[in-house]
Amino acid sequence: MHPRSRPIHIPAFLAVLLACLALAAPARAQHCWPSSVSVLVRDERGALIHPDELDGYTYTPQKPDSSDQRHDLRHRADDRWGPRVPRGTYALHWWGRGDCRVHLDEVVLRRGGTTMRLRLNLRLDTDRAPGPTEYVIDTPAFQPGTFELGLPLPAGRIGGAAWVTAGRWRRLPDGGG
């Protein structure tokens, strides 16, 4: 007696084969390095303060048309920011999500009826320029006026944030231009 052959159902076989191939395909690696910018806030005497101690702040662009970024108040929970910032320091924080880009033109801080404008003009894009782009940016003591960050930023660090000192800001003449 000969064993009976069973018919192969071609559509079901192809569906199973395609599912196996999809599962066996290598996972896509992250296509870019993470990007983030943390801006420290200082009072009129230069002491670090929580951003909640401001009367308010705005930033541009709020909804960048070409980057998938987010914003929040970030608590420093580890030593990635290095020894220059005490543990538990809060900062204004932006980070690139899916596309790893951060676009940040200007941050406007308000405190006690005074406005301080910080022009950053940042375009972090680790897809175009691979490498670590996590930055902690220190600011001058809170005061009225417009300040512009000296670019380019220092080279990023692997395993921690690169520090941008308050000395990198230059005060612009009245009128901000």
The residue ranges of every structural domain in the chain are 35-171
Query: How many Å from the N-terminal Cα to the C-terminal Cα in the chain?
Result: 96
Per-residue pLDDT tens, the chain, 177 aa: give them: 555 555 555 565 545 544 544 444 343 344 677 788 999 999 999 999 999 999 999 998 866 555 566 677 666 646 677 777 887 888 998 888 767 788 899 999 999 999 999 999 998 888 788 788 889 999 999 999 999 999 998 888 887 788 899 999 999 998 655
- Is residue 163 packed enough to be buried (19+ CB in 10 Å), middle (13-18) or exposed (0-12)? middle
Contact 159, 131 (CB under 8 A): no
pTM over 0.85: no
- Is residue 95 packed enough to be buried (19+ CB in 10 Å), middle (13-18) or exposed (0-12)? buried
Which residues lie across from 163 on neighbouring strands?
A: 136
